[in-house]
Amino acid sequence: MQQISSTRWESMRYFIETYGCQMNKAESAAMEVDFRDRGWSRANEAEEADLVMINTCSVRITAENRAWGRVAHYAAKKKIRLFTLIVTGCMAERMKAEMIARQPAIDFVLGNFQKQSLGRILDSVSSGNGVAIIDETPVFSFAGSHWEEGSFRSFLPIMHGCDNFCSYCIVPHVRGREVSRSLESVLEEVDALAARGVREITLLGQNVNSWHWEQYGQILLFPDLLKAVADRARNGAIGRIRFISSHPKDLSDETIAVIAKDPLLAKHIHLCIQHGSDRILGAMNRKYTSGFYMDLVDRMRKAIPDLSLSTDILMGFPGETEEDVQDTLSLMAKARFAYAYMYHYNPREGTPAATLPDQIPDIVKKERLARVIALQKELTRAAMKSFIGRGFEVLVEGPSSKNPDELLARTDHDMMVVFSGDKRHIGNFARVRLLSLRGNTFKAEEVR
């Protein structure tokens, strides 16, 4: 057997694998601050790390299966060399005791409400003086910074949790009830991000537009936050503000008016529909109808003529019929989504939908999903073609991976663009004209 190498405590290195949503990515970036504050450095690969962390997702069973596969991978590696293995995120919140019992190679399991204990764990690991105590108080704490070192774009969580309890969704069970972050704390992070040269921020929440805060006896709502963030961002380098994810029942006319008026707010909204059938929407406990949704879309397009929309679509919900599928296809054609995240239903233990009768066979789910994907490809192509010939301001993210002589950038409408330009543009905005399409990426030329 190969001898286990001794850990070099004087130069601790970490490696984080992140799966799932944008909130997980933001929280991984926040946890990196704990590492950096204690003098740890990021390893280029897991094999070089003294500590490996897996930030997990629980939205679908496939995500959990992948996480178990990664845990098994690192359990095998621990037989060869010494390192600390931490599992965190939504799967860790849902399966704390089971994870440790099933895989003893895991050293620490940190649920979504225990991440504030990471610093104590790192101190314990670095010193070798015993096991850290994990705070089990079920109160969510927002980190002060979610900036990924060297990035020109940053997520900025403004609320956490969800009160909607859609019948298929595990999120309220692993993220808890809605908690809003204070306006002051949000604006402080905006200032910090601007000072680090961040050019684009994305406000995050499981139900972002339900944010609210009481200040000086006044209840502030999401459009008040948008205005405050945009006004603060104008004082720094930040040139674009996005937000995700929006629930249709909470996207107000006041929010639409703020987006329409302020040039810093991206004219792209991710607005989850999930399904086009009112019967299925009711069974999902989505709290709106397809008619309500389309009326909202019409009001948004009237107020913001240049608006682009994206969405989530879930096919194969229990009891779904061919008529329900046709309702979904019809709504997609009317809404003209620029793109969509499309997936088929898998039961999540602990959610009401998992016990419903008339579960749809996987082969039927996949066939229905394939039709939805095929239609969305047509809609995406049509939406993208409508932009050709127009000029846009884009944020340059770096060199193109396919052609180092080209720059990769993103439009206000969340479309990818490549163009020939000076690498000094990286991390800044540039003006381009869209010339043609190459797959789902625009070919453009710089407009001087």
Confidence check: pLDDT of 375 > 60:
yes
* pLDDT value, residue 113: 87
pLDDT value of position 2 = 30
Q: Are strands 441-446 and 416-420 parallel, antiparallel or unpaired?
A: parallel
pLDDT confidence bin for 138, thresholds 50/70/90:
low
Q: What token pair was written down for 57?
A: 């997702």
C-alpha span between 1 and 234 (Å, rounded):
61
Cβ atoms of residues 213 and 229 within 8 Å: no
Name the residue ranges covered by the structural domains of the chain: 9-127, 153-266, 391-446
pTM equals: 0.91
pLDDT at position 131, please? 60
* Amino acid, single-letter form, for residue 431: R
Condensed to tens digits (0 to 9), the pLDDT of residues 224-251 reads 999 999 999 998 889 999 999 999 999 9
Per CATH, which fold does 153-266 belong to? Transcription Regulator spoIIAA (3.30.750)
User: What is residue 376's predicted lDDT score, i.e. its pLDDT?
Assistant: 98
Q: Give the model's pLDDT for residue 137.
A: 66
- Using one digit for the tens of pLDDT, what is the confidence trace for 79-95? 999 999 999 999 999 99
pLDDT range class, residue 447, cuts 50, 70, 90? very high
List, in sequence order, every residue forming a beta bridge with 393; answer none if it has no partner: 431
CA torsion through residues 321, 323, 326, 328, sign: negative
Domain spanning 9-127: CATH 2.70.98.40? no
Q: Is pLDDT at 128 greater than 80 in this prediction?
A: no
Lowest mean pLDDT among 41-45, 143-147, 389-393: 143-147
Question: Residue 265: exposed, middle, or buried by beta-carbon count in 10 A (0-12, 13-18, 19+)?
Answer: buried
Average pLDDT over residues 403-426: 93
Residue 48 DSSP code: G
Helix, strand, coil % (nearest 5) of the chain?
40, 25, 35
Helical residues (DSSP H) of 176-321, grouped into ranges: 183-195, 222-233, 253-261, 278-284, 290-303
pLDDT of amino acid 11: 77
CB burial of residue 354 (10 Å; 0-12, 13-18, 19+) = middle
Mean pLDDT to the nearest integer, 125-129: 80
| Higher local confidence (pLDDT), 141 or 27 | 27
Amino acid at 55: N
Residue in the block written with tokens 């009317």: 334
- What is the CATH code of the structural domain delimited by 391-446? 2.40.50.140
**Looking at residues 144-148, what average pLDDT do you find?**
89
pLDDT, the chain, mean: 92
Report the C-alpha gap between 430 and 395 in whole angstroms. Answer: 6
Count of CB atoms within 10 A of residue 357's CB? 6
Instruction: Convert the pLDDT of each residue in 199-219 to its tens digit.
Output: 999 999 999 999 999 988 899
Topology alike, domains 153-266 and 391-446: no
Tell me how far apart the alpha carbons of residues 169 and 284 are, in angstroms, rounded to a whole number: 9
Q: Band the pLDDT of 130: cuts 50, 70, 90.
A: low
What whole-number distance in Å separates Cα of residue 26 and Cα of residue 147? 8
CA angle, corner 349, sides to 275 and 167, nearest 5?
30
Host H or E run for residue 392: strand 391-399
